[in-house]
Structure 1
């Protein structure tokens, strides 16, 4: 089987590229599984280690974001010049090892440092994958392929919630970290054996004729070219504003279900896992499908689709947070969970087309730097800090009001995406 895959790896067509995409999705699933598992485990960790919501927010956001964002650009620079598959293999092994190490933490600082280590590994797990997909799939299918890759977000988040909660309930929270970390270490060599490095730019064809392999990325000046484009900054800040709310709400919803709805660890694992999986997969695919369909006629649609999705998500989230009916809450959360992820395919595709093929990893890393430094670094801590601030007045309901306040970031995101849509055509690189 491996030999057959290797023979197929020399070309982008056939079933091989879908096998590559499937493995990339699996790696991204572990990326988010290891990233989001802390949310469902926050309750038992807080109880055993005696932590505050602010400390949990720091571990869920800043501890991860510091190195994840800081190392992302130099690693992507290397990925534009060296083997992306080797970089991703090393990244997967690193973040999986640190995830397992979280299970042995004895206090706040030990767990904080382990989460920083997870961020170090995951810094090399996304931008090279975006570039690989762009070299395996033609332009007409790229937004959908990138959206399919982004299935790793809802699937990984759902599995982190589900497995983390169930293992913690059956054994303890430490076993949950060790189990998922070891599973990632097993996947790393399989990924390296199966996935081969494609020619850069091989999927960019003109009337069916493959263009020559893209030259190496320029040693300097490439990032400066990207940063001069106003659409890049608008897209990055728009995505970051949405991620402040998206990452923050995703991290704190398990605690909200415990405090405001009185759900047990197992019940909230099943409840939130189902919402994240079903709503997330539908939303990611819908966004990619709309992006390819509408973007072919008008490039602005790649950014107008997420702008509309966030404006629809806001009232749905507000209603969902306000209900006390579990049945109604399930369906109300399902809609904004999907809309919250609809931006991934079209926006990532737009970022890929702000630069030539040989700079796509670097462009993706620059985008992820802004998006995750603010989204991850600020979002999770923001909701925890506001919850601590409001606790003297609202008690266990403080988290509900903290989430209300964070929904305003969706408005900021929608406005920035709409402005960026007007400038995208000027900065687009075919």
Structure 2
């Protein structure tokens, strides 16, 4: 049976979840006030997307450093310094007078946030095993969409309260948006105080009985992680998810607001768009993240490969719902928001599952490094570039629209426009849009096509998760065997140099479920019982 959870452990998880909440609030408050930031600095879509891309770039570059430190040094102090760093950078950024200096401060915020996101999941993994770990990771991860939703709401409330009764131009001129960046820094200070006095720093791997596992060099860690097929495929699948979510989270409020503008009469007031999107992000996270964790826990008892399958099916369903919402948004904002809500629920199924899979396929002393590598890759090829890339695509699509008061039908955007088109040509048609609304219409249609293309990357993520299902059991069995062997003195020398969760295609894996009593404490959601992997035989020991 799993050990009883102590009050101190619950307090530690509560602190970590609170920090995760304000972490994502800070990120997406900027997305909620992006329209005003663009107006204040006089920048376009590409520069607006670059704000998030630059932040993520700094964040992912620093993640490996903090991963290495997190596997070797006191995590409480690493967390405290990192959170103080990003809180101060966010506060200073609210005073920057120009775009370049503001962009630089957003990069600095990314450096500080890298310390927290890399290390925090490893503390949970060292406090809990089995189903309790999966449940705690679900609590930790649903703070991501909830925090993002609160960020949208915070930014919107600041604009509404500070700019009440003002026109958009007046509100931008008075730079009301700056106050939206002056809330989370003080919450960060509170978090640091709680870390220092209340957070428990667990011994790495102790709850799994693997406290004798030795650390190795960073190069050795990385070499073994790269050979771990399960870790690699999990990372690639999550990279696709990050690519889609990064662009949607950054551009969706702006896009939906423009959809309201291009309609003659919208059923959702424009001033409520960011609040509504923030609320649906929160609620979809509260439903989707624990639902994904629940499905994984329940299904894997009978089908050990359930975790990657649930993740893959989730984004396979999410993509068409979000794409459909994208094209309906110019006709019915409410229906689009509802479709997006259900799409986000399925998109959120994988958050806790991905983290859980990473932890139970990697040995305890390499988990912070694995977390850092997952962050580096998923952001480098995911949400680091997708906001900027989507902005670039939108700017490119905008060039396809004619300069006069005409529109291009959705299904014929790629048709080359010529001066010989007649009034009966179905490609170009006169619209009721007034000339003064032309710019908004072009911006909306350009973002619409770009968003549909970006969301389609989810289909690639589904392929990686389904592929992962072929390797997940053997990778987990390898970790269980290594942790078991780490308790025996005669294996310590071997383990200190080979403590990864990788497997070689020629290595045999155990099919036995008759493990010693000391193996009964679980790893991941299945315990330390080695799971049968079809077609494999062996003894349960590590073959190198």
CA separation of 1:349 and 1:214: change in aligned 2, threshold 3 A = farther
Partner of 1:227: 226
CA contact 1:146–1:348 (8 Å) conserved in 2: yes
Partner of 1:342: 349
CA contact 1:97–1:185 (8 Å) conserved in 2: no
1-structure distance, mates of 2:301, 2:70: 29
1-structure distance, mates of 2:120, 2:296: 19
Matched, 1:319 2:319: no
**Which of 89, 93, 102 matches 2:84?**
93
2-structure distance, mates of 1:105, 1:340: 35
Answer with 403-412 or 175-184: which moved more.
175-184
Partner of 1:41: 33
Matched, 1:361 2:361: no
CA separation of 1:312 and 1:378: change in aligned 2, threshold 3 A = same
Give the C-alpha shift of residue 264 in structure 1: 6.2
2-structure distance, mates of 1:237, 1:212: 28
CA contact 1:151–1:281 (8 Å) conserved in 2: yes
Partner of 2:152: 161
- The runs of 4+ residues in structure 1 deviating greater than 6 Å are none
Partner of 1:370: 377
1-structure distance, mates of 2:473, 2:326: 38
2-structure distance, mates of 1:318, 1:311: 12
- For structure 1, list consecutive stretches of 5 or more residues without a partner in the other structure: 1-10, 205-210
TM-score, L = length of structure 2: 0.73
CA separation of 1:181 and 1:157: change in aligned 2, threshold 3 A = same
CA separation of 1:425 and 1:76: change in aligned 2, threshold 3 A = same
- Alpha-carbon displacement from aligned partner over 1:332-380 (angstroms, at most 9, x marks no partner): 1111112112111111111112221121111111111111112221111
CA separation of 1:52 and 1:294: change in aligned 2, threshold 3 A = same
Q: In proportion to residue count, which structure has more helix?
A: 1
CA contact 2:9–2:200 (8 Å) conserved in 1: no
Matched, 1:217 2:215: yes
SS at match of 2:116: coil
CA contact 2:321–2:342 (8 Å) conserved in 1: yes
2-structure distance, mates of 1:233, 1:68: 20
Give the C-alpha shift of residue 92 in structure 1: 1.2
Q: What is the count of residue pairs matched by the alignment?
A: 413
Give the C-alpha shift of residue 311 in structure 1: 0.7
Give the C-alpha shift of residue 45 in structure 1: 0.5
2-structure distance, mates of 1:189, 1:214: 32
CA contact 2:15–2:191 (8 Å) conserved in 1: no
Structure exhibiting the larger radius of gyration computed from Cα positions: 2
2-structure distance, mates of 1:185, 1:15: 23
- Alpha-carbon displacement from aligned partner over 1:392-415 (angstroms, at most 9, x marks no partner): 335132111111111210110001
2-structure distance, mates of 1:214, 1:95: 35
**Which of 160, 168, 182 matches 2:186?**
182
CA separation of 1:296 and 1:96: change in aligned 2, threshold 3 A = farther
TM-score, L = length of structure 1: 0.92
Matched, 1:410 2:439: no
Give the C-alpha shift of residue 214 in structure 1: 4.1
**Which of 398, 402, 409 matches 1:391?**
398
Partner of 2:425: none
Give the C-alpha shift of residue 16 in structure 1: 2.4
Matched, 1:108 2:156: no
Give the C-alpha shift of residue 12 in structure 1: 7.2
Partner of 1:294: 299
CA contact 1:275–1:334 (8 Å) conserved in 2: yes
SS at match of 1:151: helix
Answer with 225-234 or 407-416: which moved more.
225-234
**Which of 118, 127, 146 matches 2:137?**
146
Matched, 1:27 2:31: no
2-structure distance, mates of 1:336, 1:214: 45
SS at match of 1:120: helix
2-structure distance, mates of 1:288, 1:127: 20
Matched, 1:67 2:58: yes
Give the C-alpha shift of residue 161 in structure 1: 0.3
- Alpha-carbon displacement from aligned partner over 1:265-317 (angstroms, at most 9, x marks no partner): 64122211111010111111111111222233333211111100011001111
Alignment root-mean-square deviation, CA: 1.7
CA contact 1:214–1:357 (8 Å) conserved in 2: no
CA contact 2:33–2:177 (8 Å) conserved in 1: yes
CA separation of 1:128 and 1:31: change in aligned 2, threshold 3 A = same
2-structure distance, mates of 1:42, 1:82: 38
Give the C-alpha shift of residue 182 in structure 1: 2.6
Partner of 1:279: 284
Matched, 1:197 2:196: no
CA separation of 1:217 and 1:12: change in aligned 2, threshold 3 A = farther
CA contact 1:226–1:363 (8 Å) conserved in 2: yes
- For structure 2, list consecutive stretches of 5 or more residues without a partner in the other structure: 163-175, 262-267, 402-441, 481-544
Give the C-alpha shift of residue 261 in structure 1: 1.8
